[in-house]
């Protein structure tokens, strides 16, 4: 009961007074700074039956084209996959079309939003009247995380929600003013690190560049360029090197035949392994094993 009362107070503060019956057809996820609302079925009567305002900033993420907004006698049709922004106290009315709308309405406390906006030293705060905004990178993940935390309220949820409030607001503000992260190099590096682990884990299998680049979610040509830039050698050379290092290790252990070692490390035949090993180390696998066993005997005699 206490939780319901707190949620209701937050809702009133963010969107204004509404008929409680209207809230039955929406899912609400709220805290004192941000509220998110999704229609479950039908229309939110408070939004469509009257011209109204909200004391908060409203950002609507739509998933279909079944809702539009009337502002200053203009109808603004929403665009799926984009945010539409409306400033506090802007008179508007929602218009639903033939089918049930699918959207998430995000309300952000005016005072909190304006205080975060000051961090960007803008000359003036723009008034939003149905302005379209590109969805920030990772924005839907933030929304999902917000809803999960608001719904479950696990221990520590208030601290997590406080952090999410700030991240969501700054994500929107940066998109509003056109700030973008340069994530290309970092993303490429992380993707290459993942593929290196993949190569180690699957070196005993037949691996092609297509297999590895597909794991990295890149085209083969792009992957080979990025890999060479990050690792300083080609994909095939790197894969061959890690296979040969594994061969050396198994040869030193002396527990398996050279044929077994070759197949375990991804070489299709013993002759191919011998050719590659000779070229790389100047001796055959059997010579390498004998030399290693020879030094082992010398060390045992010394002891």
pTM of the model: 0.63
DSSP letter for each residue of 131-188: EEEEPPTTHHHHHHHHHHHHHH--TTHHHHHHHHHHHHHHHHHHHHTT-----HHHHH
Q: Tell whether the model's pLDDT for residue 21 goes beyond 60.
A: yes
Q: Tell whether the model's pLDDT for residue 96 goes beyond 80.
A: no
Tell me the average pLDDT of the chain.
Answer: 86
Q: Comparing C-alpha atoms, which of 128, 101, 95 is closest to residue 38?
A: 101
Per-residue pLDDT, 53: 92
CA 69 – CA 83 distance, rounded (Å): 13
CA 109 – CA 36 distance, rounded (Å): 12
Each residue of 193-250: pLDDT tens digit?
889 999 999 999 999 999 999 888 888 998 899 889 888 899 999 999 999 999 999 9
Per-residue pLDDT, 84: 93
Where residue 43 falls (left for φ over 0; alpha for ψ -120 to 50; beta otherwise) is beta
Percent of the residues in the chain that have a pLDDT greater than 70, as a whole number: 89
What the chain holds in terms of domains, given with CATH numbers, is 2-176 (2.60.120.280), 184-302 (1.10.10.60)
Mean local confidence (pLDDT), 80-99: 86
Each residue of 149-190: pLDDT tens digit?
999 999 999 999 999 999 999 999 999 888 776 555 656 777
Per-residue pLDDT, 186: 57
Mean local confidence (pLDDT), 61-80: 85
Q: Tell whether the model's pLDDT for residue 299 goes beyond 50.
A: no
Better-scored residue on pLDDT, 49 or 152: 152
Per-residue pLDDT, 156: 93
Q: Which residues of 94-111 are buried (b: 16+ CB within 10 A; e: fewer)?
A: bbbeeeebebbbbbbbbe
Better-scored residue on pLDDT, 165 or 25: 165
Q: Tell whether the model's pLDDT for residue 295 goes beyond 50.
A: no
Confidence of residue 32 (pLDDT cuts 50, 70, 90): very high
CA distances from 211 to 140, 194, 217 (A): 30, 13, 10
Phi first, then psi: give them for residue 131, nearest 5 degrees: -70, 140
H helix runs in 59-156, sequence order: 110-117, 139-152
Q: Comparing C-alpha atoms, which of 240, 97, 113 is closest to residue 168?
A: 113
């Amino acid at each position: 009961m206490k939780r319901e009362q707190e949620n209701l107070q937050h809702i009133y503060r963010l969107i204004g007074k509404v008929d409680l019956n209207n809230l039955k057809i929406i899912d609400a996820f709220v805290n004192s700074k941000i509220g998110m609302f999704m229609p479950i079925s039908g229309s939110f009567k408070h939004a469509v039956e009257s011209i109204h305002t909200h004391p908060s900033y409203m950002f609507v993420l739509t998933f279909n084209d079944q809702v539009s907004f009337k502002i200053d006698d203009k109808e603004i049709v929403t665009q799926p996959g984009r945010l539409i922004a409306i400033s506090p106290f802007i008179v508007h009315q929602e218009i639903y079309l033939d089918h049930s709308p699918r959207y998430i309405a995000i309300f952000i406390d005016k005072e909190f939003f304006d205080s975060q906006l000051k961090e960007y030293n803008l000359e003036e705060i723009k008034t939003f009247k149905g302005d379209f905004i590109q969805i920030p990178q990772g924005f839907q993940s933030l929304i999902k995380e917000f809803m999960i935390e608001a719904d479950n309220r696990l221990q520590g949820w208030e601290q997590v929600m406080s952090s999410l409030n700030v991240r969501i607001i700054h994500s929107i503000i940066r998109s509003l003013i056109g700030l973008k992260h340069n994530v290309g190099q970092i993303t490429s590096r992380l993707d290459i690190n993942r593929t290196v682990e993949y190569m180690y884990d699957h070196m005993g299998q037949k691996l092609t560049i297509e297999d590895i680049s597909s794991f990295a979610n890149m085209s083969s040509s792009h992957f080979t360029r990025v890999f060479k830039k990050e690792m300083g050698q080609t994909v095939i050379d790197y894969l061959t090197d890690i296979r040969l290092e594994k061969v050396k290790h198994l040869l030193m252990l002396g527990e398996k035949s050279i044929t077994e070692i070759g197949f375990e490390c991804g070489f299709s035949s013993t002759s191919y392994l011998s050719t590659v090993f000779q070229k790389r180390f100047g001796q055959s696998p059997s010579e390498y094993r004998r030399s290693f066993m020879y030094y082992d005997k010398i060390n045992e005699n010394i002891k």
